[in-house]
Structure 1
Amino acid sequence: MLIDEYVLKEYANLNGTDIVIWTYIVANKKQCSRMSIDELAKRCNVSRTTITRFVKKIGLRGYSEFKVLLDWENQGTKTDKINDNMFDTMCDSVIKYVEGQRNKNYDSICKLIYESNQTYVYGSGDIQNAVSEQIRRMFLSGQKIVHNISGVTFDNAFYSLVNREDVVILISLSGDNKEIVNIAQRLKLNGNKIISITDFKDSKLSQLSDDSLYISTTDFTILERHATFKTTMLYFLLIEFLFIKYSIYKRERQLLEVVEI
């Protein structure tokens, strides 16, 4: 299990200081695997007790275990070629992700979608576009119209169409590419609500969002001298979880509204 997955599982329980620590670690994983607890505390401008508390909060027994896992991750998250463990590694990552989602509270995100005047979705890439279209289809079956703003580029005319009562779902793997960040910044200036779906890290897009959902990807090198293969199936699992949670939330809200009447 990777450090990212430990953090993802406990993300809802992390406070602002924990996020600062994790953001530094994500940006400096190789260096952090060689740092003492005092060195890491100094770099994050916190006490060693705070580092220990963070490590235990994400489910590890202590800083030594944290360093071992981080070192292992630095050496082993990318394979040089196909090996016998690749399939098992992928299966394990999916299982751990699903287990982590079991106790996640989706209410705040479901509330944004339920109370929106219009809901839009935009994916910044081929896979993300496919996820956007799947969101549109699933929510339509649940009698919620989600408009998919598909296209190679984002149409600037959209900014004059969307209003403050609308919610925009932005899907990006990194959450840091210039186009998606510019879109989020424009929407925030408009006063729109944003839900982001990204890889698990503290990205610029997630910082601009009112609420965020995350996937945890694993990198594999399938062939030598070939681009790294990154798993993306979790996108589709995540949006199905979201749809189911939304359907439950919608039913409960409608029952309450009937009682109030």
Structure 2
Amino acid sequence: MRLEELINSRYSKLNENDIHILGYILNNKKRCSTLSINELAKVCNVSRTTILRTVQKLGFDGYSEFKVYLKWQVEKNKKIDNSSLDEFYGDLYKTIKMLKETDFSVISNLIDKAERIFVYGTGAAQKIVAQELKRTFLAVHKYFHVIEGSTELNIITQSITQKDLLIIISLSGNTENILDCIKELSIKNIPIISITRLGNNKLSTIANHNLYTYISTLSITENRKVETFSPYFILNDVLFREYIRYKQNTDCK
């Protein structure tokens, strides 16, 4: 059990001094895991006996047992951090390797021939990826219209044609509120490219063409985790470079 959970479970037994001591420990876990009971008492400006009573209220026999537990908590968090970093490096490598083995010729042709190109990101981070894709392709005078929300997507559905191109950027590929709209476009034979994390998802089965990335979860704390979108920006850059290569090859013919 995490220290925060342990404190919450015994909160009714704690007095003001206990809360003061435990508040300091929570904010300085690494440092406190190395302090003796006398040193902790000094920095908290309480007696040695008060420290002992506090840890006993949490269910520990004494301060030594609590200190071992605290060191274990610190080491556990360190292992989580190292594991997340290794996984992140691994995802970058696997994404680059997968993209290197992907044939971009058909997708590059779709981008080149499309009369209009629409890009939709299903969330806040995905919209940033969409905006970056738009910015990147401006260098070669390809103009991407970034769709700002599901309402705008539904409106565009009424006018988009087979001569246009729709790119959907999603993390899971299972965003329910847009799937009906995407299915309707697929029935109309609108070219659709999905960009999602690797794995089976509803969006990739509907789209004509799929691009994938490996996405890992970054553990900031034990109970706070975020998805890292760096591989999406790598995919953006690779897509742009592959498009340039496609144009150079076709223009030479």
Q: Which residue of 1 aligns with 2:243?
A: 246
Query: In structure 1, how many angstroms separate the alpha carbons of the residues matched to 2:200 and 2:82?
Result: 32
Instruction: Say which SS state the counterpart of residue 156 (structure 1) adopts.
Output: helix
Q: Deviations over 1:77-104 (max 9, x none)?
A: xxx7433343233223212321232232
Q: Which residue of 1 aligns with 2:190?
A: 192
CA spacing shift, 1:161–1:171, aligned 2, 3 Å: same
Instruction: Say which SS state the counterpart of residue 91 (structure 2) adopts.
Output: helix
1:180/1:205 contact within 8 Å kept: no
Query: In structure 1, how many angstroms separate the alpha carbons of the residues matched to 2:87 and 2:213?
Result: 16
Is 1:234 the equivalent of 2:225?
A: no
Instruction: Say which SS state the counterpart of residue 186 (structure 1) adopts.
Output: helix
Q: Which residue of 1 aligns with 2:128?
A: 130
1:172/1:180 contact within 8 Å kept: no
Q: How many residues align?
A: 176
Instruction: Say which SS state the counterpart of residue 84 (structure 1) adopts.
Output: helix
Query: In structure 2, how many angstroms separate the alpha carbons of the residues matched to 1:184 and 1:87?
Result: 35
Query: In structure 1, how many angstroms separate the alpha carbons of the residues matched to 2:154 and 2:91?
Result: 38
2:129/2:233 contact within 8 Å kept: yes
1:172/1:197 contact within 8 Å kept: yes
Please give the TM-score of this superposition, normalised by the length of structure 1: 0.63
Instruction: Say which SS state the counterpart of residue 191 (structure 1) adopts.
Output: coil
2:194/2:204 contact within 8 Å kept: yes
Q: Which amino acid aligns with 2:115?
A: N
Q: Which residue of 1 aligns with 2:113?
A: 115
Query: In structure 2, how many angstroms separate the alpha carbons of the residues matched to 1:195 and 1:210?
Result: 6
Instruction: Say which SS state the counterpart of residue 154 (structure 2) adopts.
Output: coil
Q: Offset of 1:250 from its aligned partner?
A: 1.6
Q: Which amino acid aligns with 1:242?
A: L
Q: Offset of 1:179 from its aligned partner?
A: 1.8
Out of 141, 144, 149, the residue aligned to residue 142 of structure 2 is 144
Q: Which residue of 1 aligns with 2:4?
A: none
Q: Deviations over 1:90-133 (max 9, x none)?
A: 22321232123223211111111112121111100011100111
Q: Which residue of 2 aligns with 1:166?
A: 164
Instruction: Say which SS state the counterpart of residue 145 (structure 2) adopts.
Output: strand
Q: Deviations over 1:163-203 (max 9, x none)?
A: 11111001111111112312211211332110000010121
Query: In structure 2, how many angstroms separate the alpha carbons of the residues matched to 1:154 and 1:175?
Result: 19
1:164/1:192 contact within 8 Å kept: yes
Out of 196, 207, 212, the residue aligned to residue 214 of structure 1 is 212
- Gapped runs of 5+ residues in structure 1? 1-79, 257-261
Query: In structure 1, how many angstroms separate the alpha carbons of the residues matched to 2:215 and 2:153?
Result: 29
2:114/2:165 contact within 8 Å kept: yes
Q: How large is the Cα RMSD of the aligned pairs? A: 1.8
Instruction: Say which SS state the counterpart of residue 163 (structure 2) adopts.
Output: coil
Q: Offset of 1:136 from its aligned partner?
A: 0.8
2:91/2:231 contact within 8 Å kept: no
**Which structure is larger by alpha-carbon Rg, 1 or 2?**
2
Instruction: Say which SS state the counterpart of residue 220 (structure 2) adopts.
Output: coil
